[in-house]
Amino acid sequence: MELVTPQIGLIFWMTLSFLIVLFILGKFAWKPIMKALKDRQESIEGSLLAADRAKEEMSQLVFSNEQLMKEAKDERDAMLRDARKIRDNIIGEAKTKAEEEANRIVETAKENIHFEKMAALTDLKNQIAILSIEIAEKIMKENLSTDDKQKELVTKLLNETHFN
């Protein structure tokens, strides 16, 4: 019977000490432990989520990178195309300009040559005239050295000349 009869003293001490320890452990042990466990759980969950998100972002980044690269390539191609066109234009323009210049130069040269030729011809004509006069003078001087000859010439000239 003694075995199943609770003793007052034991009940008293048990209640008192258990409550005190419950309070102490609740405050200094269970609270920080449960909090730490919860925090850790949350941080693990958070990390896993963050990792997933990072993975997704990564794949998106790769995708957008590819897009960007493609765009850049396209842009480069377009630029190259434009540049080529501009170059061609410039070259063509330069060519026509050069041709025009050349033509102009040739034209002026031709003109110059013509002028020069004309001048030379005039000069030549004058020279020939002067020479002819000189020759004629010399011939005249020879032919009119005698009076007969002079008379003959005068007569001849008089004959040729028609008096009106």
Partner 1 sequence: MKGYKHHISRLLFLIVLIFSCSILFAGEAESAKTNKEKPKGDSLNVGTMILEHIADAHEWHIMTIGTTEVTIPLPVILYDNGKISVFCSCQFNHGETAYQGYKIETEGENKGKIVRVLDDGTVDKTAALPLDLSITKNTMSIFICLLILCVIFISIARRYSRNPNKAPSGFQAMLEVLILFIRDDIVQPSIGKKYEKYMPYLLTLFFFIFFCNLLGLIPFFPGGANITGNIAITMVLAIFTFIITSFSAKKSYWVHLVNTPGVPWWLKLPIPIMPIVEIIGVITKPFVLMVRLFANITAGHIIVLGFIGLIFIFGKMNVGIGYGTSVVSVAFSVFMGLLELLVAFLQAYVFTLLSSLYFGMASEEHEHHVENHTNH
Considering the complex, state which of residue 36 and residue 133 has its C-beta at the smaller distance from partner 1.
36
Site string for partner 1, 17-46 (x = CB under 8 A): xx-xxx-xxx-xxxxxxx-xx-xx--x---
Does residue number 11 form part of the binding site for partner 1 (CB under 8 A)? yes
Residue given tokens 């009076």 in the structure block = 147
Q: How many residues does the structure list for the chain?
A: 164
| 71, 63 contact by CB (below 8 A) | no
**Which whole-number Å values give the CA distances from 144 to 88, 125, 133, in the listed order?**
82, 27, 16
Q: Which region, judged by CB under 8 A, interacts with partner 1, from 13-21, 66-74, 75-83, 139-147?
A: 13-21
| 109, 118 contact by CB (below 8 A) | no
Considering the complex, state which of residue 37 and residue 91 has its C-beta at the smaller distance from partner 1.
37
Does residue number 13 form part of the binding site for partner 1 (CB under 8 A)? yes
Does residue number 48 form part of the binding site for partner 1 (CB under 8 A)? no
Q: Which residues bind partner 1 (CB under 8 A)?
A: 1-15, 17-18, 20-22, 24-26, 28-34, 36-37, 39-40, 43
